[in-house]
Amino acid sequence: MRVVVTGLGTVQPFGVGVDSFRQGLREGRSAVRRVDDEITARYVRVVAAVPEFVPGEHLTHKQVTDTDRFTQLALVAAREALHDAGIVRDERISGILPRRIGVALGSAFGGVQTLEQGAAQLAVKPTGRVSPRLVSKAIPNAAAGAIAMAWDLEGPVVTYATACASSANAIGEAVYWLRAGVVDAVLAGGAESLYTPSILAGLGAAGALARTGPADERAWSRPFDRDRQGMVMGEGAAMLVLEPYDRALVRGAHIYGELIGYGASNDAYHETSPHPQGRGAAQAMSSALEAAHLDGSEVGYINAHATATPAGDAAEGAALRTVFGELIDRIPVSSIKGAVGHLLGTAGAIESLTCLLALDEGWLPPTLHCADPETWAPRDLVPDRAREQQVEVALSNSFGFGGQNAALVWRRHRQGG
């Protein structure tokens, strides 16, 4: 069975909606901003947060009060994707049984902001009372469950927590439901918002966060650059509607692209550091290409995970050379994390969305702020600005703590085939 994407939705550091995301990338802008919150500023100086997001402008009062921020982001992205696919009209599912729609969502942590707020209350007053919604707002499957309740989706609803590979795994695994005939469509993607003291302090202690950089703080996320210092934390949600190709044709839906390959692996090496030679990453890419029945010469673009950490970028560079050999210097490779930071559990979904826009519209997203590339980096990093270029196949990488690796292969849809 061929599986295609017919709907896109996102809330990310450029704002709400796919249009804001597309425009930011194509204009080569950075969504990294100086921290203006006193508590967050204790741990980092820059972030890539969603600007001016007011949940009440998009959601009901009950949805706002009963949910953590990561769920709120997911609900808004899900609505856009469902409307874009033509599956929701007037806020109701149309043309498909709700029990035949699944939700596959990735999130590294879930509602950690709510959890920390409750812990802070108890730290001040140990005998105090916390919200009766604390657990239901904080559990990792809260966002997926809220999406199901919002549109009465009664198919399988599963949350994947594989660190920064979470949403890539969610998208890849969703294909099995479709091919098994369990569902007729899947809303797949990720949601993450981790601006809390414990997460920021922990990532800082692990050496993962950028602490210094150029005078222009918007340029602190520097994938593949010799002077990269670490990642800039982003937040957001991205959702895709996946469905069988034949069904999409019958519906007359717009097809953004086809998912033709998925590979997953584990480094089995270290809790936080990737394998220095990118062994697991290379395995995931090779498995995805094998599933797609392609060799390296048929890949026209690679969306790298490249978070701008010293060890992570180097390991991915090694993995790319293992899989593609000398071809890697002739394939455009870019990381959007120079523009939007690292969206953690949402990374695989927002980067898959990027690949689908690139394939559908004929342009490639840039790698920002890589002024002095490492010698081992791919030669064509699509520097500084988007490029008008039509490619047929794109590979998207996602890697995470715990040695988690996922790769997705996307193919452009051409009218009539």
What pLDDT is attached to residue 107?
98
What pLDDT is attached to residue 369?
97
What pLDDT is attached to residue 409?
98
| 350 touches 236 (CB < 8 A) | yes
Q: Which of 164, 275, 355, 370 is catalytic?
A: 164
Q: Domains in the chain, please, with CATH? A: 3-251 (3.40.47.10), 262-411 (3.40.47.10)
User: 271: buried, middle or exposed (CB in 10 Å: 19+, 13-18, 0-12)?
Assistant: exposed
The dihedral formed by the CA atoms of 88, 91, 93 and 98, expressed in degrees to the nearest 10? 130
Which residue from 204, 220, 191 is spatially nearest to 307, judged by alpha carbons?
A: 220
Q: Render pLDDT for 38-96 as a digit per residue (tens, 0 to 9).
A: 889 999 999 999 999 999 999 999 999 999 999 999 999 999 999 999 998 777 888 89
Beta strands 393-400 and 301-303 are parallel
The helix or strand, by DSSP H or E, that contains position 187, with its residue range, turns out to be strand 185-192
Beta strands 46-47 and 33-34 are antiparallel
The dihedral formed by the CA atoms of 52, 15, 170 and 388, expressed in degrees to the nearest 10? -160
- What pTM does this model have? 0.96
Q: Which of 61, 254, 293, 342 is catalytic?
A: 342
- Per the annotation, the verdict on 355 as an active-site residue is no
> Within the chain, which residues score under 70 in pLDDT?
416-417
User: DSSP letter at 368?
Assistant: P
Q: Which of 305, 355, 369, 413 is catalytic?
A: 305
| 366 touches 28 (CB < 8 A) | yes
What pLDDT is attached to residue 89?
78
Backbone angles phi, psi at 196, to 5 degrees: -135, 155
Angle value at C-alpha 271, between 265 and 217, nearest 5 degrees: 100
Which residue from 259, 231, 227 is spatially nearest to 243, judged by alpha carbons?
A: 259
- Per the annotation, the verdict on 164 as an active-site residue is yes
Angstrom distance (rounded) from CA 301 to CA 277: 22
Which residue from 280, 116, 293 is spatially nearest to 198, judged by alpha carbons?
A: 116
The dihedral formed by the CA atoms of 280, 282, 285 and 291, expressed in degrees to the nearest 10? -80
Place of tokens 């990338």: 25
What pLDDT is attached to residue 416?
62
